[in-house]
Amino acid sequence: MIASSSLAVFVTAALGLLVLPGPAVLYIVTRSAAQGRRAGLASVLGIELGSLCHAVAAAFGLSAILVASALAFSVVKYAGAAYLIYLGIRALLGRHDASTEDDAPPRSFSELFRKGLLVNLLNPKTALFFYAFLPQFVDPHRGPPIVQTLILGGIFVLMATCTDSTYALLGSGVGRLVTRRPGFPRLQRYVSAGIYMALGVAAAISGEGRK
């Protein structure tokens, strides 16, 4: 259903975005370092469940937009491309989002799970990311968009679970690596910015070719 070339680009882009630590990863590593690996994994499960909810919402929302109007879907796709470019520019300028950081971690694993879920579920930037990222790989001519979006969203969340769990297991050692190496924040900004902007530009160019 999804073209193998598009799927390969999606997996590569998603992996590039996921392996570079962002606010959610730093939140997970902080919990793991402060309360142990199980606490980090509990935070991972909560965060990824929130991401899955956003992916499902994006799938149904984008499908409804396409049913209403193919033009509206194209507008959403172009807007998403512009938003990805904006994220790239913001990453390049080094703006930091600390929305998932907290100096007072909850004590129980269930509380950590709920906090991770709520932090991600109530974050409008996460919702915007899924609405911007997933449509770039959806081709209405290759099957139901809702199915394609659910597949892509599921793959992304599964990959995020794997990478974030790795950070949780590595714990405080990774925390020292990502926070104290002088060149790492700059590398993170450049790579993230490059991925976001390349996706946005590629989406806009490919959209022009389908007119």
End-to-end C-alpha distance for the chain, whole angstroms: 21
CA–CA gap between residue 67 and residue 29 (Å, rounded): 42
Q: What is the pLDDT along the chain (211 residues), one digit of tens a residue?
A: 788 888 998 998 888 888 876 777 878 887 888 888 888 899 999 999 999 999 999 899 887 887 777 777 778 878 878 887 887 888 778 655 544 445 555 568 888 898 889 888 887 778 888 888 888 888 888 888 889 999 999 999 999 999 999 989 887 666 556 555 666 567 667 777 777 787 777 766 655 444 4
Cα maximum dimension of the chain: 55
- Domain range annotation of the chain: 4-209
Which tokens sit at 139? Answer: 């081709």
CA–CA gap between residue 5 and residue 54 (Å, rounded): 25
Q: Helix, strand or coil for residue 143?
A: coil
CA–CA gap between residue 211 and residue 206 (Å, rounded): 9
Q: Helices H, strands E: what count in the chain?
A: 9, 0
What pTM, to 2 d.p., does this model score?
Answer: 0.77
CA–CA gap between residue 86 and residue 47 (Å, rounded): 24
Contacts for 208 with CB less than 8 Å, ≥ 6 apart? none
CA–CA gap between residue 132 and residue 80 (Å, rounded): 4
Yes or no: say if 142 and 4 are a contact pair by the CB < 8 Å rule. Answer: no
